[in-house]
Structure 1
């Protein structure tokens, strides 16, 4: 019989609730502690899309959550090719009604290579609907391939402040067996929320990271640390 684990989920809402439901269906218990929240800036995307472009690029499904109330304004762009960083973002694009969706394998590097291979069809460049903070890898890859890119910061991630007693209550015994860490910034902020006493208490908690870059945010003295074979929730949860 599978072992039931107590799992700390640190990703932002509403994704945290989706992950919690998924874990519950697997027989696990969850502790929700979203450490970042998305501040939407949809007008930046709408403005950028008024400029000439051959395609759209998106590296997070959060972009489509930001644009969900503006579906009518996106109608003129639904036939435009959309380059998405991975399958989850591609699915979100399809749900928004985009007809030509190209998916990468989950990294900005892989997406830039796909765009570079299609560079002859990108004469008017890309509109990149992005978040902040973000990895520079995708934009650097486009620049190296000579592909023009107009970046529109469609959302930004903001750290959530919690009262110390809230963190203490969530991480008191029984402490989680595992914590899921999805981004460098969320991992970094999570550890800043811990008092010395709480940090000591959870220092042996297993940490599952979506990538090596996420793992780089973990301070010394915590772990064991495991890294997903590829940047997807499926491979992350496969380590449980």
Structure 2
């Protein structure tokens, strides 16, 4: 299958290698890029906190650029949303990384259970995150009365490719499947000129979504071709192919 990957670099390259190993033809069209704010991360880490929570591997990659200021935090417990984020945090040097291997709701539930077993933290949990993001994780911890301090340290900026580049990737030939990892990227995809002007050309293309939230950005005319992964991770997404 010819499979279009819309996620940002460098993750897109790793996905392409996985697809090639499965016998597919990967095509890359990144529709977002991460803009890091390392100073915001340093400032957040300098304030007192009991643990660190991350819901994106992007944060873990950013922390790898904080430098020597990170060293005194490496014994701090990190609650990470998934295995990829957890591995990235471990690669950054953190000694204790706990992950439920699911989504933000699963991470919130794990933190709540941890606080129930070991007591409410005296200092807030530092949530290092980006923009845009779903509100569920923060809302769940707030409802449970767990102190949380949120610090935005990156943003995902949309990439609008040149018309000629988009047409070359999307029309020569049309992909058999598209992988969507975020709601914002899916929204950007359907605004591209080939989709906006000749959507009928894509009525045989599978729209594969990481989660039900991502699938909400897929227009109704493609509903019959939209499939949601059984779990919010790349392994489950690729299983749909």
What is the TM-score with the length of structure 2 in the denominator?
0.94
Distance 2:64 2:233 in 1: 23
Say whether 1:190 aligns with 2:189: yes
Cα pair 1:37 1:160 within 8 Å, conserved = yes
| 1:121, distance to aligned residue in structure 2 (A) | 4.8
Deviation, 1:24, is: 0.9
The SS at the match of 1:192 is coil
Q: Pairwise mapping of residues 38-49 of structure 1 onto structure 2 (< 5 A)?
A: 38-49=34-45
Q: Which residue of 1 aligns with 2:126?
A: 127
Residue in 1 aligned with 2:213?
Answer: 213
Q: Which residue of 1 aligns with 2:33?
A: 37
8 Å CA contact 2:41, 2:66 repeated in 1: no
Q: Which runs of 5+ in 2 are unaligned?
A: none
Range that drifts further, 214-223 or 195-204:
195-204
CA RMSD of aligned residues (A): 1.3
SS in 2 for 1:56: strand
Deviation, structure 1 residue 104: 2.1
Question: Is the 1:71–1:96 contact (alpha carbons within 8 Å) kept by the matching residues of 2?
Answer: no
TM-score (norm. length: structure 1): 0.94
**CA offset at residue 71 of structure 1?**
3.6
Tell me which residue corresponds to 2:81: 85
2-structure distance, mates of 1:176, 1:99: 42
Q: Provide structure 1 residue ranges, at least 5 long, that are not aligned to the other structure.
A: none
Aligned length: 236
8 Å contact kept, 2:61–2:92:
no
Cα distance in 2 for residues equivalent to 1:218 and 1:155: 25
Deviations 1:129-169 (A, max 9, x none): 00110011111111011111111111100111222222111
Report what 1:163 is aligned to: 162
Tell me the SS of whatever aligns to 2:164.
helix
1:99 counterpart residue number = 95
